[in-house]
Amino acid sequence: MCGRFVSARKRLELLEEFAVQRDRVDASPDPEPGPDYNVAPTKRVFAVLERPARDDEPQARELRVLRWGLVPFWARRPRAAAS
């Protein structure tokens, strides 16, 4: 199972659709990903994360750019998980 999917939504659409409070895409060292109709493991994608409430911060949703894929606990390096 290769875990491929389509990522065609724009950043502003995701911010609005998921009522994101924190936009962390600009803080990422990676460039903003464009539309991709065949996202494979190790590619960079938009992700909406819901952060739990902490003592000084309320619960919030944030948009980030993350690397898609699963890195199993036994992998010594993240790159080894995709091979």
53-63 pLDDT tens trace: 888 888 999 99
The count of C-alpha atoms lying within 13 angstroms of the C-alpha of 16, restricted to the half-sphere facing its C-beta, is: 5
Other CB atoms closer than 10 Å to residue 79's CB: what's the count? 10
Backbone angles phi, psi at 78, to 5 degrees: -55, -35
- Rounded average pLDDT per 10-residue block, the chain, 83 residues: 82 95 86 90 91 87 90 78 62
pLDDT of residue 47: 93
pTM more than 0.85: no
Q: Which CB contacts under 8 angstroms, 24+ apart, belong to 77-80?
A: 79/42
